[in-house]
């Protein structure tokens, strides 16, 4: 987080896997969703939910019941999860939503910004991921460590404190908060930089982007 051209807080993140890379982009944060409903994106449905549904169905188990996910048909009506045929191509055309709760991958807050990639930033119930050196484990969105502090910082000029944010986490109340002043956001890909004390930092080239492009090819 940056104020007056100075970094005021740093937070570890979990980014997209190699086959679901987090994009580079420029946007502005405009909204927070506290205790959000997760609308499963097509990539997750195709690569995660359907294979898991097929695997569990062979064992006589219900993937939707296990993960508290609801399925809806084209008419918007909720379907009986026990009647879904996971071997049918039709399952890929259904709408899936997961209600707020401890199993929701978005955690207790989702941070929205306009972009063409359907990505956003959010909390995570899997806090152990932030302790890893290699943190490419998402489907393209960015999970933020210490997201409570980030959320409070984003809406501090609207009367919010970190204590109020933590109350939202504890209560489980659904609430959408639109920022009065959108906050600029940049996703950049950097594997080497210098700190203020002159120390050079290097990080793993997760997406194999170093050495790619007109600037790199000139050397």
Place of tokens 């996971």: 86
Please tell me the total number of residues recorded for the chain in this structure.
Answer: 219
Which residue, 174, 167, 172, 111, is CA-closest to 142? 111
| H or E element in which residue 164 lies | helix 162-171
For residue 62, give every residue at least 6 positions away whose Cβ sits within 8 Å of its Cβ, in sequence order, or none: 56, 81, 82
Do 80 and 6 meet the contact criterion of CB atoms below 8 Å apart? no
Structure tokens of 130? 């932030």
Catalytic residue set? 122, 141
Nearest CA-CA partner of 30 in 183, 144, 187, 156: 183
Structure tokens at 21: 């890379």
The end-to-end CA distance of the chain, in Å, is 33
Residue entry with tokens 């379907």: 79
Residues whose CB falls within 8 Å of the CB of residue 17, separated by 6 or more in sequence, listed in order? 136, 137, 138, 139
Distance CA 26, CA 75 (A): 36
């Amino acid at each position: 987080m940056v104020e007056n051209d100075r970094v005021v807080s740093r937070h570890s993140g979990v980014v997209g896997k190699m086959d679901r890379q987090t994009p580079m982009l420029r946007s502005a944060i405009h909204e927070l969703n506290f205790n959000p409903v997760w609308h499963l994106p097509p990539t997750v449905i195709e690569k995660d939910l359907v294979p898991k549904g097929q695997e569990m169905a062979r064992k006589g188990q219900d993937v939707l019941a296990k993960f508290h996910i609801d399925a809806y048909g084209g008419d918007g009506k909720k379907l009986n999860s026990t009647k879904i045929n996971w071997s049918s191509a039709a399952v890929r055309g259904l709408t899936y939503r997961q209600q707020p709760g401890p199993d929701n991958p978005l955690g207790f807050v989702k941070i929205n910004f306009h972009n063409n990639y359907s990505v956003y930033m959010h909390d995570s119930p899997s806090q152990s991921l932030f302790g890893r050196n290699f943190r490419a484990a998402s489907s393209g969105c960015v999970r933020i460590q210490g997201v409570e502090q980030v959320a409070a910082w984003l809406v501090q000029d609207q009367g919010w404190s970190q204590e109020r944010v933590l109350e939202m986490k504890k209560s489980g109340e659904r609430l959408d908060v639109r920022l009065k002043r959108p906050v600029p956001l940049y996703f950049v890909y950097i594997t080497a930089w210098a700190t203020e004390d002159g120390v050079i930092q290097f990080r793993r080239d997760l997406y194999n982007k170093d050495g790619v492009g007109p600037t790199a090819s000139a050397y």
